[in-house]
Amino acid sequence: FCQTLLQSVLPPELRFACFRFLKHALGCYYSYCYFEITDTDGLNTNELYDAVQLYLSSFASTSCSRLSLSRVCNSSSTTFVLSNNDCIADVFGGVSVQWKHVVTQSQSQASPRAEKRSFTLRIRKCDRDRILDSYLDYIMDKANDIRRENRERLLYTNSHGGWRKVPFKHPSTFDTLAMDPERKRDIMEDLRDFMAGKAFYQRTGRAWKRGYLLYGPPGTGKSSMIAAMANFLGYDIYDLELTKVHSNSELRELLMNTSSKSIIVIEDIDCSVNLSKRLKAEQATPRRAAHGRKHGNNNTITLSGLLNFTDGLWSCCGSERIFVFTSNHIEKLDPALLRSGRMDMHIYMSYCSYPALKILLKNYLEYEDKDLGEAAASSLQETIERAKMTPADISEVLIKNRRNKEKAVSELLMVLKARAERNEKYGGMREDCELNGVEEEEQEKWALDGSEEGSHDDDDSCY
Ligand SMILES: Nc1ncnc2c1ncn2[C@@H]1O[C@H](COP(=O)(O)OP(=O)(O)OP(=O)(O)O)[C@@H](O)[C@H]1O
């Protein structure tokens, strides 16, 4: 009836044009193109195949009813793989696509039992140009993220101008770190923003890197904080020993050989290399410095070399990198290092506060707030600030008595009170000496001098 009606109403030319349009529109919508991604391209393994496999396995476990499971030797993670001829759907940018896993027997005479594996991607023709490239890039990025999460992290250290690596297994996390929960939250927020900030850094034309300066007395958790950062972000750590670097160019070379998504650490920057003194020495003896340069002897790291390392053009090779400097004496650092924009966040690692103590009690003794008892809680709260003890010192007391919780708390209270009284008596001077690990005799000297200046000056091991 419709056909008869259309034939009588529409002229044949218009009918033909409409028919052609409809056929094209429907054809475009319902016709597909197929892309085959094989596990090898003849000789080499195909990175894209591995990436697709990892990417699909990240959500296949929840959306497929039949999967092959595998686990690599010594690994703790299980990989889900689509079985032969099984399909899985995905949506990217609002476009639906379908993946199929195909396993066939190899035709090769040399290895007749080998299998040829491939994924077939099905996309509607009209969507192909719009999403294909960006979808495959997205899969590669995702697969890299998954790989990083699955694999163990590495700790690099510089030696003879290159990097040596060992597996990084430090168990410190933000949960185990004793510090005020609010400050901890701020730092975690900052790290999270950094990690997800690719678009922000691109939009603002800034290099995708961030600098943290951790400072405070020894034993307040600066190294533990770095480990917690690495575990939180899933980044590798490059622990740069400045005393083993002989020139700015070596420093640059080392930087070029670090990977993205890593934390580059310079610990105890105030005493590992005496940059400001070097600079002064150079200024004081310009002829000697000029002589050195003339003879090609540029065997020094300068402050500007270090700043270039963190700040300059070279710091941008690679991306998503975090620089962490630690110092026990922020007042000894050159102001150029502290200027805003250089170290984005200055984090003071303080003596143990009451909220931090509660974290230690929970971690070491499994004590919750209510287990402590009102009297003990208020005594601890009252003495902890005056005692000025580091989390490292407090951990020692708790570890020693961890089998007897009541004893642990009472001994801690005793130590805290003794420390508080002593601090009040000596005005904190001896306390500083002791925390810096100085011998009894030396402590007396410092207490008399009232100064610790020169403690590193005659130390040959320092630069
Ligand atoms: N804030 C903290 N939270 C939990 N544990 C801590 C903390 N601070 C110190 N500790 C404990 O003390 C030990 C030593 O701490 P850490 O090496 O992190 O201190 P640091 O500030 O880096 O010291 P240094 O300046 O001497 O290198 C750690 O292994 C950890 O057990």
Express each pLDDT in 26-58 by its tens digit. Answer: 666 678 889 999 887 766 778 899 889 889 887
Q: Which residues line ligand 1 (CB under 6 A)?
A: 176-179, 218-224, 328, 349, 391-392, 395
Express each pLDDT in 89-103 by its tens digit. Answer: 899 988 999 999 888
Tokens representing residue 152 in the block: 């163990």
Question: What is residue 459's predicted lDDT score, i.e. its pLDDT?
Answer: 33
Q: What ipTM, to 2 d.p.?
A: 0.97
Residue 341 has pLDDT above 50, yes or no: yes
Å from CA of 390 to ligand 1 middle:
8
Choice between 156 and 129, residue whose per-residue pLDDT is larger? 156
Question: What is residue 64's predicted lDDT score, i.e. its pLDDT?
Answer: 65
Tokens representing residue 35 in the block: 């892309």
Ligand 1 pocket mutation, candidates 220, 327, 353, criterion most atoms within 8 A of CB: 220
Å from CA of 182 to ligand 1 middle:
19
- Range ranked top by mean pLDDT from 151-155, 431-435, 458-462: 151-155
Choice between 140 and 68, residue whose per-residue pLDDT is larger? 140
Ligand 1 pocket mutation, candidates 172, 187, 223, criterion most atoms within 8 A of CB: 223
The closest of 46, 443, 432 to 218, measured between CA atoms, is 432
- Range ranked top by mean pLDDT from 220-234, 414-428, 431-445: 220-234
Inter-CA distances, 437 with 225, 261, 268, 447, Å: 21, 35, 15, 14
Closest residue to atom 8 of ligand 1, CA basis? 221
Express each pLDDT in 387-427 by its tens digit. Answer: 999 999 999 999 988 888 888 899 999 999 999 999 888 76
Candidate from 49-53, 73-77, 428-432 with smallest mean pLDDT: 428-432
Å from CA of 357 to ligand 1 middle:
13
Counting atoms of ligand 1 from 1, which one is nearest the CA of 177? Answer: 3
Express each pLDDT in 317-339 by its tens digit. Answer: 667 889 999 999 888 888 887 77
Closest residue to atom 29 of ligand 1, CA basis? 224
Contact 156, 163 (CB under 8 A): yes
Question: What is residue 185's predicted lDDT score, i.e. its pLDDT?
Answer: 95
For the chain, what is the mean pLDDT?
A: 79
Average pLDDT over residues 165-194: 92
State the Cα–Cα distance between residues 108 and 43, nearest whole angstrom. 13
Average pLDDT over residues 133-147: 88
Average pLDDT over residues 126-141: 88
Å from CA of 52 to ligand 1 middle:
42
Tokens representing residue 187 in the block: 């730092």
Contact 213, 338 (CB under 8 A): yes
What pTM was computed for the model?
0.67
- Spell out the residues 6+ positions from residue 102 whose beta carbon is closer than 8 angstroms to its own: 84, 85, 117, 118, 119, 120
Counting atoms of ligand 1 from 1, which one is nearest the CA of 218? Answer: 25
Question: What is residue 227's predicted lDDT score, i.e. its pLDDT?
Answer: 95
Residue % of the chain over a pLDDT of 90: 30
Interstrand relation of 95-105 and 115-124 (parallel, antiparallel or unpaired): antiparallel
> Quick one: three-class SS letters along the chain?
CHHHHHHHHCCHHHHHHHHHHHHHHHHHHHCEEEEEEECECCCCECHHHHHHHHHHHHHHHHHCCCEEEECCCCCCCCEEEECCCCEEEEEECCEEEEEEEEEEECCCCCCCCCEEEEEEEEEEHHHHHHHHHHHHHHHHHHHHHHHHHHCCCEEEEEECCEEEEEECCCCCCCCCCCCCHHHHHHHHHHHHHHHCCHHHHHHHCCCCEEEEEEECCCCCCHHHHHHHHHHHHCCEEEECCHHHCCCHHHHHHHHHCCCCCEEEEECCHHHHCCHHHHHHHHHHCHHHHHHHHHCCCCCCCCHHHHHHHHHCHHHHCCCCEEEEEEECCHHHCCHHHHCCCCCCEEEECCCCCHHHHHHHHHHHHCCCHHHHCHHHHHHHHHHHHHHCCCHHHHHHHHHHCCCCHHHHHHHHHHHHHHHHHHHHHHCCHHHHHHHCCCCHHHHHHHHHHCCCCCCCCCCCCCC
Residue 452 has pLDDT above 80, yes or no: no
